[in-house]
Amino acid sequence: MEKNKIQHLNITTDKLFDDIRNIIEQGRRQAYAATNQIVLLTYWHIGRRIVEEEQHGKARAQYGTRLIKTLAEQLVPKYGATFCKRNLDYFRQFYLCFNDLERLYRLQTLRPESGM
């Protein structure tokens, strides 16, 4: 009789462990997806501001402005290498490619790995 109780307890514990593990993993997937979306929007907004500042309402930016280089010199010491000149250039280009925020949201919701 005691053996059956222990076996039943092990089965119950195993099931509980699996359920909790699944809850944790699902929560992590959702947290990663939400974080990725926030990071993406942050980079998009940075790119938008750079383009707005560079172009001052004109169709094209002036060639040779030092805006991105200067920004990188100010941002890297405070926020790290993520905001280096190369990445700021990428953020700018990202915004230029996806300047329609609604389109960007639609692309995000279509991603199968978004977990949402």
The pair of structure tokens assigned to 89 is 């250039």
For the segment 10-47, what is each residue's pLDDT rounded down to a tens digit?
A: 778 899 999 999 999 999 999 999 999 999 999 999 99
Is-above-0.95 flag for pTM? no
Looking at the domain assignment, is residue 16 inside a domain?
A: yes
In a domain, 38, yes or no: yes
Q: Which of 57, 45, 35 is nearest to 91 (CA)?
A: 45
Place of tokens 């230029």: 96
Quick check: 59 and 45 in contact, CB under 8 A? no
Q: Is the pLDDT of residue 1 over 80?
A: no
Query: How far is the first Cα of the chain from the last one, in angstroms, to the nearest whole number?
Result: 46
Q: Is residue 74 part of a domain?
A: yes
Q: Tally the C-alpha atoms within 13 A of residue 14's C-alpha that lie toward its C-beta.
A: 6
Whether 116 maps to a domain, the answer reads no
Predicted local distance difference test score (pLDDT) of residue 114:
45
- pLDDT, tens only, 51-109: 999 887 565 666 556 899 999 999 999 999 999 999 999 999 999 999 888 877 777 66
Indicate whether 102 belongs to any domain: yes
Q: What is the pLDDT of residue 62?
A: 64
What is the number of domains present in the chain? 1
Is 115 domain-assigned?
Answer: no
Is 18 within a domain? yes
